[in-house]
Amino acid sequence: MKTYGYARVSAKDQNLARQLDSFKRFGIPQQNIYAEKSSGKDFCRTEYLKLRGILQKDDLLVIQSLDRLGRNYDQITEEWHKITQSIGANILVLDMPLLDTRSRLDTLLGKFVSNLVLEVLSFVAENERSNIRARQAEGIRIAKERGVKFGRPKIVLYEQFIFVAKKYIEKEITLYDALSTLKISRSSFYRRLSLIKKL
């Protein structure tokens, strides 16, 4: 029997440290910890699929919280049953000790309690995400009604830019000269230049 840890954050600027520290405190060897920065919308995640591929009967998969496994109610429950029933491995959720299949699969009541807690928590998590999306949509709608603009601001071609850009187009000055005069980046210059060419 081996113990594995799986850590995940959704965004590149989020930190895995808290999850990794909890695995070390639990005594999971470094080589048995799989971590990635990836969305939880589905289970097509490189590190997770590697880990699931090596899980065997009676192994233990440790996660910090249920939402690290995924964020979709149906997918979480399906994956949970795949690991615990098809593979025969166990799962422990550190933030929710009731979700520990090691001590609860030996009795019918224990199995029922574990599955019930999983169903309730998965439903609550997805319901909260739905509420957040609804609140975001409502906030955007209200902001738009108040005249708030979303997206990248419209590019304004000011007179100096047009003058310099025409000199560049006619090969009177180099790209370096144009960028130095306008004090803008190459990407900004080309973005504005493409608008001039459409005029």
Q: Choose one of 128, 149, 180: the last residue of a domain.
A: 128
Q: What is the pLDDT of residue 21?
A: 94
Residues 111 and 63 placed together within one structural domain of the fold: yes
Q: Which amino acid is at 40?
A: G
Domain boundaries, position 176 = 159-198
pTM as predicted? 0.58
Distance, in Å, from the CA atom of 65 to the CA atom of 8, rounded to the nearest integer, reads 10
Q: What is the pLDDT of residue 159?
A: 80
Distance, in Å, from the CA atom of 69 to the CA atom of 79, rounded to the nearest integer, reads 9
Q: Considering only CA atoms, which of 178, 170, 160 is closest in space to residue 197? A: 170
Residues 123 and 173 placed together within one structural domain of the fold: no
Residues 166 and 115 placed together within one structural domain of the fold: no
Q: How many domains does the chain have?
A: 2
Residue 78 domain-assigned? yes
Residue 149 domain-assigned? no
Q: What is the pLDDT of residues 135-164, one digit of tens each?
A: 787 877 887 788 777 666 555 567 888 888
Residues 8 and 91 placed together within one structural domain of the fold: yes
Residue 114 domain-assigned? yes
The listed range with the strongest mean pLDDT (11-15, 43-47, 110-114, 138-142) is: 43-47
